[in-house]
Amino acid sequence: MNVSKELICWASITIGLVGNIAAEASKVEGGALSRRIADGTFDCLDTIATAAKNNGTLYYADGLWHSPFLATSWDTHTAAGAAAAGLWQSGLFDQTPDKKELLRAWAMDTFDRAIKDHRNADGSFGKKDVPESLFFLVELSSACLRMDAGLDAGRKSAWQEALAKGIGQLVETGNLYNDKTKRNWYANGNLELDETTLLFYAFKVTHDERYREMFERQLAFTLYPDRPRWRNFGLYYGSEPARPDGVDGSGYLAENASGRPGYDGDYTHFQSSIAAKLFLASEDPRILRLVNLFLNQMMPHVDRETWIFDATAGSRHSTMLPLTTPAYVVSAFECNRKKLLAEIDEQVSMTLAHYRKAAKEGWLHPGMYRGLNGELVTLLQAALRAEANSKKSVH
């Protein structure tokens, strides 16, 4: 997309979005931050699920979350089912059994259908020349972890088998480290970090130490890939931090389209969401450091009146986008960053309003479908963790 046209597009969305934040946020029944996020996320899923099939581009039927992009982005659309699993696990719908059972059904039907429709004979998923298998396995592993207590033995076994065989194929193809060839393929920073997340989730689901070892190897490869083969990829600093948590520095994982790998704002935003999600699962200080580095790399380019992030002139994309990353909330709470803490309500309100507007008006694209889990449910988990820590400190 031409940059000038994209700027105009985002400017028009922003004007409408800012005007709607208060109205949209007021529809979410308030109280604790987690309650607002959970209700807002449920509203997004329910808006899609209850839309008439012939009355818009977004609707749900028979385990499929539809959009005009479903045929080519089925993998990211399954994030809606993973988001349902996250809401089910949160405990915030225990007092509304009808909603809780609906969330369970959405999650189970989504992944049952995806496994049935897209698993290849070799255990991989989707097309071989695109990262469909990786993206799907991240969502499947997330759902396995969150739905553990809600799955019958047969379904749990089937999902875990699909997960293990899918990871096995990533190893076989060299997308993950292969012991036979002693090689690993570096695609781009966001994909390598996603693979790191997948392996940690697999460890949490199965308790198989092999996956933890693979996670450690993949994390090292993501940050510091082999030279000279993968020169210019890996972690780069905008400002190298002195503190171990990285809160006084900035950085990014290099991304490449067709030229030299470098900084891409759009993908750094995506990397920050992945890192936030992985930190909440792992509580690993190395991952919190990445959350802070990525967020700090972006914040000088964020308009704090509109929450629009200027990600123009990147190594892959040139765009403007709302700062919907959960890294903001994770960094604020975990590192007690007072300036961020003071603005959490604004950033969360903007994020919820953005997603609810997209679901209602039918322009939830594949990246936003993925964000239902990667951004909204990660926001929810960050809020629940902060609220639990606050209660501990009181006692």
Tens digits of per-residue pLDDT, 283-320?
Answer: 999 999 999 999 999 999 999 999 999 999 999 999 99
Tokens of 193: 């970090």
Q: How many angstroms separate the CA atoms of 196 and 176, rounded?
A: 9
User: What is the reported pLDDT for 3?
Assistant: 38
Cβ atoms 85, 146 nearer than 8 A: yes
Q: How many angstroms separate the CA atoms of 130 and 189, rounded?
A: 15
Q: How many angstroms separate the CA atoms of 63 and 328, rounded?
A: 32
pLDDT digits (tens, 9 = 90+) for 143-160: 999 999 999 999 999 999
* 3-class secondary-structure state, position 120: coil
- For the beta carbon of residue 83, count every other beta carbon within 10 angstroms: 34
Tokens of 146: 């969150």
Tokens of 315: 């190594």
DSSP H helical ranges for 207-337? 209-223, 265-282, 285-298, 327-334
pLDDT of 2 over the 50 cut: no
What single-letter DSSP state applies at residue 51?
A: S
DSSP-assigned beta bridge partners for residue 322: 308
The fold for domain 3-394 equals Glycosyltransferase (1.50.10)
pLDDT digits (tens, 9 = 90+) for 200-253: 999 999 999 999 999 999 999 999 999 889 999 999 999 999 999 999 999 999
Residues 6+ apart with CB under 8 A from 167: 137, 176, 198, 199, 202, 211
Nearest Cα residue to 123 out of 189, 171, 78, 85? 171
pLDDT of 55 over the 70 cut: no
Q: List % helix, strand, coil for the chain (3-state, nearest 5).
A: 60, 10, 30
Q: How many angstroms separate the CA atoms of 55 and 33, rounded?
A: 33
Instruction: Give this prediction's pTM.
Output: 0.92
